[in-house]
Amino acid sequence: MHPKTVIVIPCYNEAKRLKPNHYLNFLKQHTKIDLIMVNDGSSDETRAILQTIRQDDPNRCMILNLDHNSGKGEAVRQGITEALVTGADYVGYWDADLSTPLEIIPKFCTILREKPDLFMVFGARVLLLGKTIERNALRHYCGRSFATIVSLMLKISVYDTQCGAKLFRAGPEIKRIFENRFISRWVFDVEIIARWIRLCQTYKLPPVDLVIYEYPLPVWRHVAESKIKISNGATVARDLYKIHKFLKETECKW
Ligand SMILES: Nc1nc2c(ncn2[C@@H]2O[C@H](COP(=O)(O)OP(=O)(O)OP(=O)(O)O)[C@@H](O)[C@H]2O)c(=O)[nH]1
Ligand SMILES: [Mg+2]
């Protein structure tokens, strides 16, 4: 039997970038993968566009409307919490701009199915021969510095924490990771890893490098109008410091 998968799509003012047909075709072609679209307090036409996607197959496309903009991390967290309630085997999140095409989701599912020790699959934007990775140069170099700092801080070698394509094996461990609001606004993806590290210390789970698989994406294309700006650097630095402090705490308070 094919495992059931629920993917959360966080959407904040995505009216220009949302492509309803991509979602509709995907739902038709992949009957074991459902969607939860989280409208993160958008002030544009996002809500109406999401309705058009849902109308076609209301049982397999749920919409979660947040009254106020809460940031990607909180939108994802609320979506994943709903996804876990559905009894799905795998839950994940995917950026609404479809920089990572939806068609890659089944590959992520296959990885979790074939490797039962894994809990998470992270898309990694690595430009290897035969791959199509189209990134803005400045974002790429900022991303490389960011990954180096994160690797040193977490004491693991992680290539790409920030790619918006991730899948998790549903269960009590992942439920715990998404249970409480993230302390960081922009780098909650790093916090997910930090939370696993803390869980390991408390519950003797396998180390983080054995439970996360970084899958080199075959395709990733930068889509214009990203809302995350290089100028958010100061907030990112502060968020990383908060995560660093969280890792140093002796008691698990979350
Ligand atoms: N920036 C931002 N994104 C949000 C928010 N809430 C939900 N999102 C969603 O998070 C996803 C990522 O947003 P993008 O603006 O593409 O940023 P990004 O993908 O991290 O940046 P790139 O690597 O340049 O594509 C999209 O699906 C957004 O709609 C929010 O408050 N701020
Ligand atoms: Mg994007």
What is the chain's pLDDT, residue by residue, as a tens digit (254 residues)? 678 999 999 999 999 999 999 999 999 999 999 999 999 999 999 999 999 999 989 999 999 999 999 999 999 999 999 999 999 999 999 999 999 999 999 999 999 999 999 999 999 999 999 999 999 999 999 999 999 999 999 999 999 999 999 999 999 999 999 999 999 988 999 999 999 999 998 888 999 999 999 999 999 999 988 777 777 889 999 999 999 999 988 666 66
With respect to residue 253, please indicate whether it lies within any of the assigned structural domains: no
- Given this model, what pLDDT does residue 250 score? 65
Q: Establish if 163 belongs to a structural domain.
A: yes
Query: CA 249, CA 123: separation in Å to the nearest integer?
Result: 29
Length of the chain measured in residues: 254
How many domains is the chain partitioned into structurally? 1
Predicted TM-score (pTM) of the model is: 0.95
Domain contains 254: no
Answer yes or no: is the C-beta of 10 below 6 A from any ligand 1 atom. yes
CB of 97 closer than 6 A to ligand 1?
Answer: yes
Residue 25 sits in a domain of what CATH number?
3.90.550.10
Range of the domain at 204: 5-248
Task: Establish whether residue 191 lines the binding site of ligand 1, counting it when its CB lies within 6 angstroms of any ligand atom.
Answer: no
Sheet strands side by side (includes 90-94): 61-66, 33-40, 5-11, 90-94, 165-169, 120-124, 212-216
Which residue's CA is the nearest one to ligand 1's atom 1?
227
Measured between alpha carbons, how far is 116 from 155 in angstroms, rounded to an integer? 24
Instruction: Report if residue 118 sits inside a domain.
Output: yes
pLDDT at 225: 80
Residue 139 domain-assigned (yes or no) = yes
Q: Whose CA is nearest to atom 7 of ligand 1?
A: 72
Q: What is the pLDDT of residue 2?
A: 79
Q: Rounded to an integer, what distance in angstroms lies between the CA atom of residue 148 and that of residue 150? A: 5
CA of 144 to the centre of ligand 2 (A): 17
- pLDDT for the residue numbered 254: 62
Beta-bridge partners for 215: 123
Span from the CA of 135 to the centroid of ligand 1 (angstroms):
15
